Amino acid sequence: MLSPIQYLKIALMTQGMELGPAARAALTGADGSQPLTLADYATTSGISLCLGKDVWANVPIEEHNPNFIQHPPYRLEYDHGTFYIRAGDTEVEARPVPVPAYHDQLNQWGERYTSYAITHTDRVRISPIAGCAIACQFCDVPYEYRYTRKRVAGLVDSVGIALEDSRLPARHVLISGGTPRPEDYDYENEVYAEVCHAFPGVDVDVMMVPVQGLLDPKSLVETGIHGLSINIEMYNEERARKLMAGKARVGRDHYLDFIARAVEAFGPGRIRSLLLVGLESLEDTLRGVEVLAERGCEPVLSPFRPDPSTPLRNYSPPGIPMLVEVYERSAEVAARHGVHLGPRCVPCHHNTLSFPDDSGYYIRADT
């Protein structure tokens, strides 16, 4: 059973919020030059905030999602130094996550740091490849960015800047971005090695499609990679062929076989796989949770959020009842197999259907 504050997170992620004048001014700064959000991915297009003690949510706003956020019932207010989410009789204290201080800074090559790195909550994500070798209809990357390889030194430099940021210092790293072309597989693995070598005390994870010849679990462990996110995204293969043809060609069986090998190589709690909630039936998503959990993989539930730049811009996101049901039933499936819904990092719950518990499994911001 969800607590009121957990239910509020789901409602905010579904219905969005508007900002009161005082809240907007507090977030954008005295001169209004600070962005509300870096809005880099569909699921991070809103404002991240912490509700109460440790329930994190990325809340869409009309500025970045006018395709489905209009006249939201919730409002972010700022009174006497404290932020609140308000709607009718509801009032919950909230802590918005600021954008990092490096958001408008240039590196030594005259490039924006944000063209290399983006920090959300306590994780910095770097993208070795701009654009993508494949095009999924729900992802903005192939529609907004031309395929380009980024300089390795720039990627390493951006991680260092993010870890030491004065406003939002990162605690761990995710190497993600677009899927590389085959001729760039060696380059991608070079990035993994260089980042791990440069920051030996920092957890570095990789999120990538397990195309043949790109990722090798044992080699990645030896490189120093902390964990992997291998996202099957949809269990239903027919839907996958329609909405993410490039990834569907990799094959669900290949994904699952790779995930099983990765769990064996990395150990428990290091491998997760994301499922998009709302692009297939609830029962298909639960089947996805089942096949992941029985392999010792953390299922991660990510509510679909239509990005205005994609072909699915007018596709309706899932409603609150579906999200509540899929979370509660998925948690039961995961527990039956002795795993937890991911990710383990609590601040990284902000764009997923995940909540911390008292098991000691989840890593909080203050630990």
- What integer pLDDT is reported at residue 132 of this predicted model? 83
Residues 73, 134 share a domain: no
Count of domains forming the chain: 2
- What integer pLDDT is reported at residue 367 of this predicted model? 47
Residues 58, 13 share a domain: yes
Is residue 337 included in any domain, yes or no? no
Last residue of a domain, one of 96, 124, 148: 96
Is residue 144 included in any domain, yes or no? yes
Count CB-CB contacts under 10 A for residue 351. Answer: 25
pTM of the model: 0.95
Domain that holds residue 173: 101-229
Residues 153, 91 share a domain: no
Is residue 220 included in any domain, yes or no? yes
Is residue 55 included in any domain, yes or no? yes
- What integer pLDDT is reported at residue 176 of this predicted model? 94
Residues 193, 154 share a domain: yes
SS (H, E, C) 93-136: EEEECCCCHHHHCECCCCCEHHHCEEEECCEEEECCEECCCCCC
Residues of the chain with pLDDT under 70: 140-143, 366-367
Is residue 340 included in any domain, yes or no? no
Count CB-CB contacts under 10 A for residue 155. Answer: 20
Residues 78, 30 share a domain: yes
- What integer pLDDT is reported at residue 365 of this predicted model? 72
State in Å, rounded, how far the first CA of the chain is from the last one: 26
Is residue 170 included in any domain, yes or no? yes
Last residue of a domain, one of 45, 61, 96: 96
Spatial contact of 35 and 44, defined as CB atoms under 8 Å apart: no
Residues 183, 118 share a domain: yes
Helix residue ranges per DSSP H, the chain: 4-15, 21-28, 141-144, 152-163, 185-198, 217-223, 237-243, 245-250, 252-266, 282-293, 320-336
Residues 197, 106 share a domain: yes
Is residue 167 included in any domain, yes or no? yes
Closest CA to 18 of 36, 4, 40, 32: 36
CA dihedral of residues 327, 331, 332, 335 (deg, nearest 10) = 170
Which CA distances in Å does 262 have to 87, 215, 226, 308, 332?
A: 45, 10, 11, 35, 24
74 forms beta bridges with 17
Residues 184, 80 share a domain: no
